[in-house]
Amino acid sequence: MPDTAAGTRPPAAVKNMFRADIYGLPGVRQFIPAAHPGGKLDSMNHAFTRTRWLRRLTVLLTLLASTALAQRCEPLTGTPLRVGVLPVMNTLPLFVAEQEGFYEAHGVNVELVPVESARDRSIGLQTGQLDVGNNDVMGAVLQVAGGDELKIVRHDSFEAGVRFFSIVTSAESGLDTAEKLISALQAGEAQVAIGHNTVTEYMASKLLQDAGYTPEPEDYLEVSAIPLRLEHMAQGLVAAALLPEPLTTLAVETQGASAVLQDSSTEFVPVALTVTQVALDERPGDVCAFLAAYEQAAQAINADPEAYRHNEIRIPEPIIGSYEVPTFAAPRVPTQEEIALVQEWMVTVGMIDEAVPYEELVDGRFMPVD
């Protein structure tokens, strides 16, 4: 397995991007944006604006509100919970929770492990090198159908209307509209780079079908590592790619690419956090505390997205001043209907022979009760 799949910690710079005890509470730390030309955020760091006060109040309230949840997050083992993170924007709360000290506040030891592809993530979960995966419903279904034991514990997408996935075409291809791309696919003159058997294949198919075209297997080119899809487009090796944020924005703003089909109006984007059954059975307190810290981070981002614009891990430098930081959906697990919809597609394309029962895929015990 590549070194990126296990045993690699986030850059040391991350550890230096916060200031301790900003709220006067032990273990609660404020993310300090990296310096950026123009000095706009530098002045904000020294001014107690209304937004900053609101953000502080929100974080304080979410910390207090999470106390009851933390009380049931026992026992805590102190053993690192290893979380595999892909280079996609929905992992932002994982890093914010580390930078703000939320993991520490909840008493859970978390190690964020970068992985470049869904394959690396799945191998890490399968071999026990990872306990938690930044995953998708397809990946979870395939692993459970193949005999692995893990569960979806949270839907980790953006709020409705926020772009996550897009089919992006290169400037060199000249396919700057959905109609042009579909015509090129029909003529066998273009392909879309995806990761087979992952959310990217599902979303590419859904976006094309919603645009009136049913894709064929030959319309896709397997490029499993997400950053490589962007490179392949830049090098003219493929006309289009299914990309997540922030790579879509990066391609559009720095390469002249076109986001010809987007998922902004898609009701359900099948991404999820998954946890191995071993971790759920042996370390439920750690999992509970991890999810409590994740939720605290998501609420902090939603309260003031701009405070997290200058996150050097998640937002590439060329777009750090223009990228619109996303807000995150409320905590829940996918519904039975949503899981059934995805599995129906998986059966249709021959990915699985039959659907996996919902209760074998989803564990909602850590989510708030309505």
pLDDT of residue 239: 98
Taking only the tens of pLDDT, the chain with its 370 residues reads 333 333 333 333 222 222 222 222 222 222 222 333 333 333 333 333 444 445 455 555 545 544 444 547 889 999 999 999 998 899 999 999 999 999 999 999 999 999 988 899 999 999 999 999 999 999 999 999 999 999 999 999 999 999 999 999 999 999 999 999 999 999 999 999 999 988 999 999 999 999 999 999 999 999 999 899 999 999 999 999 999 999 999 999 999 999 999 999 888 999 999 999 999 999 999 999 999 999 999 999 999 999 998 655 578 889 988 999 999 999 999 999 999 999 999 999 999 999 999 999 999 999 987 5
Question: What DSSP state is assigned to residue 355?
Answer: P
List the one residue out of 159, 160, 177 whose CA is nearest residue 168: 177
Show the domains of the chain with their CATH numbers. 3-160+271-360 (3.40.190.10), 165-262 (3.40.190.10)
* Phi, psi at 165, each rounded to 5°: -110, 145
pLDDT of residue 259: 98
Q: Which parts of the chain are beta strand (E)?
A: 18-19, 30-31, 81-85, 110-114, 132-136, 150-155, 165-169, 192-194, 220-222, 240-244, 258-262, 271-276
pLDDT of residue 36: 33
Q: From residue 207, how far is each of 167, 200, 296 by CA, in Å?
A: 8, 10, 32
pLDDT of residue 30: 27
Q: How far is CA 272 from the centre of its chain?
A: 8
